[in-house]
A and B are shown apart, each in its own frame.
Chain A
Amino acid sequence: MAEAGLAALWFAAVLALLQLLLGALTIRWGGRADATPRRAASIAALAGSVRPVAVVQGLLSAVAMLCLIWVFATSDMTVKLVVENSQSAKPMMYKVAGAWGNHEGSMLLWVTILGLAGGAVALLERRLEERTLIATLAAQAAIALGFYAFLLVASNPFARIWPAPADGLGLNPLLQDPGLAFHPPTLYVGYVGLSVAFSFAVGALVTGDVGPAFARAMRPWVLGAWTFLTVGITAGSYWAYYELGWGGWWFWDPVENASLMPWLAATALLHSVTVLATRDGLRAWTVMLAVVAFSMSMIGTFLVRSGILTSVHAFAVDPTRGAFILALLAIYIGGALALFALRVGTVRQGTTFDLVSREGGLVLNNLLLSVILGIVLIGTLYPLVAAGFGVQLSIGAPFFDKAAGPIALILVAAMAVGPLVRWRRDDGQAVLARMTWPIAASAFTAAGLIALGGSMAILPLLALSLAAGLAVASIAPLWGRALRRTPLAIWGMVVAHLGVAVSLAGMAASSAWTQERLVAVGPGEPTRVGPFTVTLVGIAPVLGENWSGLEGQLRATRDEDVLILKPQQRFFANPPTTTNETSIRSFWDGQLYTVLGQPDGRGRWQVRLWWKPFVTLIWLGGALIAIGGALSLIGRVARDRRAAQRGGWA
């Protein structure tokens, strides 16, 4: 089975090379005006073969991935990767997830998604000018080829081991978690979506065909990528929240930043591509952003894999692999940026705008998102630069909060106004009039909080007030519309913007009102945290499928409600690790978060208790943002379909 996978991988690589060559030849020969009819026919034949090759290449990469999943599912201990990352006594779900819970497998998953996405572009895309599409597919093949080479040369997932050991070494227990089993694939889909946008940008640069048609072709891929990135980041944040056991949900850790940067770029791209599609403006900028967004996902992958930055999440650290990814990065991104500098002159100037207009708002959005992106990038890499000069320093939450926080709040304010401004030109007074209710909501919230809360920190106060205003403003575009006839894309925007308000409210509320109790308790001793009284009932041993552990029984009461929470300490033998299993209960107004610590040596146990008001809103908001993206995607695709059926231009 492993050999079949390897063979599929080789064939796919050869096809990717073929796809690249065919595409390049088509573009090169097809560009000549003096082509004879016979010559034109052979060029058309060449061009016609690019699409099927892309589809078959995608299918072959999927076959390779299925082979890998198969050897993991059957615990084939003659395969080195299985031995190193799996174990026969493990739930089936984690065996399958183990296939991509390691460097080689995750890279194979990457190219599989990449190949399938390329195949999908080849099958579905009919709007773009043929030459631009061929150039796009050739660029996609070039990316895939690099990763095939990486897999086949530097990280073969199908290598056998001899003699075969009786059992494997196991998967890192921290990764044996349903959330994490599906977190990486989600992010990869997002990264690959951005690679498609990148290929479109390269294709458009090659042919100089940057315009609304290009924007419409690229937009679904950007929307899809952005939706998956949102899901990935939201899920990753929740995973860190319940798994690390200290109640934090974002740490400004390099690996987290590595996933945030592509998201920021994709968010900016999503908005600029709308300007390009609707008003034919921001041409060069949109192309640039498409390149930057994919660069960020490559740089993110590089930072995670090379281990040049220390992170809690670091895995599969290997400088050789880092060097390989870096080389790919240099070729693709350096190449694309050079192409940009050389070719952008052939891109005709787009329209310019009035300052007070929807376009103006979207430019502001792009400006602020790009600045935040720059801050995160610089903050993440700065310790590396300093280390080069022999200075050790650490950059964390205080810097990012101070530098990016205020800009993010301005962005939120801009988000509230933007959708209420008309395209082309609007009147400042009229916009202000439309903002009456949102401003009233903000003022009312601020006044209420000051009256009730008294001593509230300024930042959460500001954030909560802004969130209230944004929530009202984000629904405002629906006012006066027939709801059933409102396009899905508008719904998408409304839901996504509302999601940002919800998430922001969750962040502000939980940071302002969280209550923490770190105590050593004996059985029967009550502790108060928030509205709850928590009592340790007892400690008992428990056994899982591949771990053993201790389980604390905590009885929590609020008014008449009584509930039992069971936080655990788990000991994994293979590899030897201790993990904390938090026990969390959600209520409409917050979460009770409990952790069992160590015994204190005097018959008591350390327990950690948190009452986190409205913390769930953070991830609920993230989910809403993703749902908004999905609605928008469905709306756009359906509309393009209908337009294509009518035979008009989409």
Chain B
Amino acid sequence: MSTAASEQRTGGSRLIWVPLAGFVLLFAIVAIGLWRPADRTVRSALVGKPMPGIALAPVVAGKPGIEAGRFAKGQARLVNIFASWCIPCAAEAPQLLRLKAMGVPIDAVAVKDTPAAVAAFLARYGDPYDAIGGDPDSAVQFALGSSGVPETFLVDGNGRIVEQHVGDIRAEEVDGLAAKVRGLR
């Protein structure tokens, strides 16, 4: 830089503005990062792709687990990833019950949970599920590309994942979700 810089007096090159240009670029990058923070949610890379073939053992008595091939039987459904120890899951329960009442079929994956705790959770917050499979070691979560509880996957009748909903479903989102499921039939 030193002589390149001092040659400027005679040469009149514009290179001397390069550091400032570099700084302006840097400034732009961080300013954009600050004012328009990118979505930090880690989304599943499986959206738009077929549901992985999962088969899960039942968790609670009188409720089937998830058998292989369940998602390619022509009916669109929601798969709710939840856990009895997760507080937002309890907050989400009324919305799931409403979806169920609207005729949306919902299956569940209970993450790292015990049968007794799941049964108590369902007794307390209601049971909107057609089937509940247990995922004692997060293996299904990893297979689905899910990074927390609760999450809800929308799967179409051919077993393709259409959408991933990260976090609890809010009351105002219920109608839209139900409409999407109906639209897929």
A387 within 8 A of B: yes
Q: Is the CB of A281 within 8 A of B19?
A: no
A330 within 8 A of B: yes
Q: Is the CB of B27 within 8 A of A344?
A: no
Q: Is the CB of B34 within 8 A of A334?
A: no
A2 within 8 A of B: no
Q: Is the CB of B19 within 8 A of A340?
A: yes
Measured between beta carbons, the chain A residues less than 8 angstroms from B30 are: 299, 302-303, 306, 308, 326, 381, 384
Measured between beta carbons, the chain A residues less than 8 angstroms from B31 are: 326
Interface size on A, residues (CB 8 A): 43
Q: Is the CB of B20 within 8 A of A308?
A: no
A349 within 8 A of B: yes
Q: Is the CB of B8 within 8 A of A344?
A: yes
Stretch from B37-45, B67-75, B167-175 that touches the partner: B37-45
A74 within 8 A of B: no
Q: Is the CB of A345 within 8 A of B8?
A: yes
A288 within 8 A of B: yes
A48 within 8 A of B: no
Which of A322, A341, A345 is in CB contact (< 8 Å) with B34?
A: A322
Q: Is the CB of A347 within 8 A of B33?
A: no
Which of B6, B8, B19, B38 is in CB contact (< 8 Å) with A387?
A: B38
Which of A288, A303, A347 is in CB contact (< 8 Å) with B6?
A: A347
Measured between beta carbons, the chain A residues less than 8 angstroms from B24 are: 334
A384 and B33 in contact (CB under 8 A), knowing A282-B2, A310-B40, A326-B27?
A: yes
A388 and B42 in contact (CB under 8 A), knowing A341-B16, A341-B20, A344-B16?
A: no
Contact with A along B1-44 (1 / 0, CB 8 A): 11101111100000011011001101101111111111010100
Measured between beta carbons, the chain B residues less than 8 angstroms from A302 are: 30
A550 within 8 A of B: no
Measured between beta carbons, the chain A residues less than 8 angstroms from B2 are: 281-286, 349-350
A462, B31: Cα distance in complex, Å: 41
A395, B40: Cα distance in complex, Å: 15
Which residues of chain A from 284 to 312 have any CB-CB distance to chain B below 8 Å in the complex?
284-286, 288, 291-292, 295, 299, 302-303, 306, 308, 310
A577 within 8 A of B: no
Measured between beta carbons, the chain B residues less than 8 angstroms from A392 are: 38, 42
Which residues of chain A from 101 to 123 have any CB-CB distance to chain B below 8 Å in the complex?
none
Q: Is the CB of B19 within 8 A of A288?
A: yes
A385 within 8 A of B: yes
A334 and B6 in contact (CB under 8 A), knowing A302-B30, A326-B34, A388-B33?
A: no
Which of A347, A377, A388 is in CB contact (< 8 Å) with B5?
A: A347
Q: Is the CB of B34 within 8 A of A306?
A: yes
A337 within 8 A of B: yes
Nearest-CB residue, chain A, relative to B37: A308
Most buried by A among B27, B31, B33, B36: B33
Q: Is the CB of B19 within 8 A of A388?
A: no
Measured between beta carbons, the chain A residues less than 8 angstroms from B16 are: 340-341, 344-345
A510, B161: Cα distance in complex, Å: 46
Which residues of chain A from 250 to 300 have any CB-CB distance to chain B below 8 Å in the complex?
281-286, 288, 291-292, 295, 299
A333 within 8 A of B: yes
Measured between beta carbons, the chain A residues less than 8 angstroms from B34 are: 306, 308, 319, 322-323, 326
Measured between beta carbons, the chain B residues less than 8 angstroms from A329 are: 27
Measured between beta carbons, the chain A residues less than 8 angstroms from B23 are: 295, 333-334, 337
Q: Is the CB of A283 within 8 A of B6?
A: yes
A334, B19: Cα distance in complex, Å: 9
Contact with B along A349-365 (1 / 0, CB 8 A): 11010000000000000
Contact with A along B135-148 (1 / 0, CB 8 A): 00000000000000
A426, B68: Cα distance in complex, Å: 77
A543 within 8 A of B: no
Measured between beta carbons, the chain B residues less than 8 angstroms from A345 are: 8-9, 16
Measured between beta carbons, the chain A residues less than 8 angstroms from B29 are: 381, 384-385, 388
A457 within 8 A of B: no
A348 within 8 A of B: yes
Q: Is the CB of B33 within 8 A of A308?
A: yes
A404, B134: Cα distance in complex, Å: 46
Nearest-CB residue, chain B, relative to A320: B34
A338 within 8 A of B: yes
A330 and B27 in contact (CB under 8 A), knowing A308-B34, A392-B42?
A: yes
Q: Is the CB of B1 within 8 A of A288?
A: yes
A381 and B3 in contact (CB under 8 A), knowing A323-B34, A345-B8, A387-B33?
A: no
Measured between beta carbons, the chain A residues less than 8 angstroms from B37 are: 308, 319
Nearest-CB residue, chain A, relative to B16: A341
Measured between beta carbons, the chain A residues less than 8 angstroms from B36 are: 388
Measured between beta carbons, the chain B residues less than 8 angstroms from A377 are: 26
| Least CB distance, A181 to chain B, in whole angstroms | 30
Most buried by B among A281, A302, A303, A329: A329
Q: Is the CB of A334 within 8 A of B27?
A: yes
A306, B35: Cα distance in complex, Å: 11
- Given contact pairs A344-B8, A381-B29, enumerate 8 new A-B contacts (beta carbons under 8 Å): A284-B2, A285-B2, A310-B40, A333-B23, A337-B20, A340-B16, A350-B3, A381-B26
14 CB contacts below 8 A, A to B, read A283-B2, A284-B5, A285-B2, A295-B23, A306-B34, A319-B34, A329-B27, A337-B23, A340-B20, A345-B16, A350-B3, A350-B6, A381-B29, A388-B32
Chain B residues packing against A (C-beta within 8 Å): 1-3, 5-9, 16-17, 19-20, 23-24, 26-27, 29-38, 40, 42
In the complex, the 7 A-B pairs of residues with the closest C-beta atoms, listed nearest first = A284-B5, A387-B38, A349-B6, A337-B20, A285-B1, A285-B2, A308-B33
